Structure 1
């Protein structure tokens, strides 16, 4: 029979073991739950569970970054995308591009609502028509006819023409667009799916273009050759021909909601709720097959051509595309805005005409490596507007040398009174939008605020002074003359 001391010792050991397990669980949760995203850790992947193994490299990469990945079949009812008006996940990835029917809560309307609530989306198109086919035009995507994949016969290879290697390094990026695919994507990216054209939407921009020699065509015939439809389309010109690098296979969309002054747990009341969406022409870009597929190339050497096999860039490209969509990179935030007169430090409630005003703003960028917000001085084209209906002052807002993340400028208030606004509106493709407004009155000088003497008014001052002096001289002469006459009269009487 166990003694009381043995029972107490056993209970203490059990309690100590339970405490150690709890601490280990909390440490693991805190270390794994902190993802590289600035908006949240939870990811919902809509995918047939049987196909999970086909995307294991991509999904494991998300978990390695600290994301909590949940798999849901397209026709399953749980977990819900939106519950009680709030999103259940920070990010949603739809890899079921060939699925035609989805659950009730997965609809074009719910996906748009997710964006408005701040949830980021990765949407993959397929060759079959589904809900994404009807949603794409709402994002200004122009799709070719159904069942027309992107094909290319160059470079020469043993793969079918619908499996295309895309050279990322040869694609040009405008100066005002953030580079989603970095220089770390060294190999060519394998792609199979549909391409699309981009309409003139300022919130939409291409991430990966189709090759110059590629085109969209139906290769459903047994021979695998392009039918006469391509020739007919070329005769119609731009109306029917889908070809060239004007097409895109990956495009990004940045919403324009909120004030650009906060994200995720760091955001306070009234902060922004910006979200991102990435459109991909085929889910195979994220697949293990393309991640492991070698790129066979012919390299010129001294003894002739040599065939070499290089790894593809799909693993890194898929990680960076999803990373941009999940707001890991290109995320900016306004931390502080101050203004004051020159030679002063405290802001005023109102300014006077022609006051010299100093405007300063602090901007930070999210660093996915450290999971922290860090001062950012990389904006070279930031501008400040001082507006009242129309901009009265538009001036560059350069970074301050020696002060990381600080931008400042000095300008003169207009010679006009009214309620003006300091306006920051920085919208560049690929970056989160920075939008900040601050109202401030500009008033005329007070009655005692005007200068006492104006150099331009000296002629008027001289005229007034000379008139006064002349009047005094006249009075003196007049009084002196009367006194002399009176004295003469007295002397005559005597």
Structure 2
């Protein structure tokens, strides 16, 4: 009986800590490859994900069934696959992302058409066939086979968005990378360059004479790229499937020519942080509540009146460690918009909410309280509250306006002047004129 109770408690605890969307499809080139990535896959299971591992060419592959998701996330570690099995295709994966699914996939030195096409749909392109990232100054002395393709990437080349890579202090060792380089599409505004190569790196076929300018060189060579779609679905692409392998995670790396002792590579914490962001365990925002009202009141009125003082508050939550906590960002802006913004102001954290007080413009019409929050690595937050702003009623206007006092004075002075002139004109009698002696004699 005690064992049954303990088992039930364990199930409840797992259910509370497991992600709400925890079904992951992992595609490999062969079933034996599962052992190659056992540490990474084990970390996903530890975080509560339910993994389904299949061959990339399995005839029963499908992401949708009866219009519903079969899986919530997709991982592809099959760089050389030419076509996916079953109903799975690049078009279906694109529809999966459009419907809100998340995808993480990796390439390698040998690439199939399927992975190339999928990368192109994600805003990146792999370099030419048989090319690899090469760095003659930053390669591992123990893993490299002599062609300098086992490149060590300094953590300083990671993106500055800590929400994607986690705590940068946790990734202090170099990241071991071997594979292709990516070239970003400059016209894609949704892409994020997570990890770029050093300035001494370039992409070319190993052990061949460099007789032309490489297409990816220095910081333009992207090693790990990401994309957050407009519906907040996430895609992560890298040119190195070995980045996630047990051999690279456990490798003790040492830069060639360095006198320092070998250290464990930074691949472990890096791929964990990367998968957490890709599967929306962090960097996710939501609006819990919105409130707006006149200053001194608590409920919104039927409509507002021009020039009134309004208090606006919004409660935004961020997903951290599986729990929703208040988001206290100081760069969230509120816009009061009719066609163009009439008011734009920052929201200040206060008691777990973001608030502001402002005066309504002296313009009436239909307005919107608009919060449109875009920040690197965070999900897009958009909230609109529509309100009406009316002009003053005839009983609300001031009886006397200070700015009109000169006109009041001029009006009354004119009235007084007219009265005085009328009095003078009506009641003033002209004195009789004196009659001359000649006039009297004539009479």
TM-score bracket relative to the smaller structure: 0.7 to 0.9
* 1:117-172 C-alpha deviation (Å, 9 max, x unpaired): 2211111123322212112222221321122111112236251312111111x226
Q: Does 2:358 match 1:375?
A: no
**Maintained 8 Å contact 2:333/2:344:** yes
* TM-score normalised to structure 1 length: 0.78
Q: Distance in 1 between matches of 2:8 and 2:62?
A: 27
Q: Distance in 1 between matches of 2:121 and 2:138?
A: 35
Q: Does 2:220 match 1:246?
A: yes
Q: Which residue of 2 aligns with 1:346?
A: 299
* TM-score normalised to structure 2 length: 0.86
- Partner of residue 112 from structure 1, selected from 94, 99, 103: 94
Paired residues for 1:340-489 under 5 Å:
340-368=293-321, 371-377=322-328, 379-400=329-350, 403-404=351-352, 406-463=353-410
Structure 1: gaps (5+ residues): 1-15, 220-224, 234-239, 258-273, 300-304, 482-494
- Partner of residue 105 from structure 2, selected from 120, 123, 139: 123
CA apart distance, 1:398 = 2.7
Q: Distance in 2 between matches of 1:172 and 1:59?
A: 23
Q: Which residue of 2 aligns with 1:309?
A: 262
Q: Distance in 1 between matches of 2:78 and 2:121?
A: 20
* 1:376-397 C-alpha deviation (Å, 9 max, x unpaired): 21x2322111112222222222
Q: Which residue of 1 aligns with 2:438?
A: none
Between the two proteins, the alignment pairs up a number of residues equal to: 420
Q: Does 2:133 match 1:180?
A: no
Q: Distance in 2 between matches of 1:297 and 1:164?
A: 9
In 2 relative to 1, CA 36–337 (structure 1 residues): closer, same or farther, beyond 3 Å?
Answer: same
Q: Distance in 1 between matches of 2:344 and 2:274?
A: 35
CA apart distance, 1:30 = 2.9
CA apart distance, 1:478 = 12
**Maintained 8 Å contact 2:124/2:185:** yes
Q: Does 2:178 match 1:197?
A: no
**Over the residues paired in the alignment, what is the CA RMSD in angstroms?**
2.8
* 1:211-238 C-alpha deviation (Å, 9 max, x unpaired): 221111112xxxxx232xx3322xxxxx
Structure 2: gaps (5+ residues): 429-443
Q: Distance in 2 between matches of 1:242 and 1:163?
A: 17
CA apart distance, 1:432 = 0.8
| Secondary structure of the structure 2 residue equivalent to 1:27 | helix
Q: Does 2:332 match 1:332?
A: no
Paired residues for 1:18-37 under 5 Å:
21=4, 23-35=5-17, 37=19
- Partner of residue 88 from structure 1, selected from 60, 70, 88: 70
Q: Distance in 2 between matches of 1:338 and 1:49?
A: 54
* 1:290-321 C-alpha deviation (Å, 9 max, x unpaired): 1111112479xxxxx74512111111111111
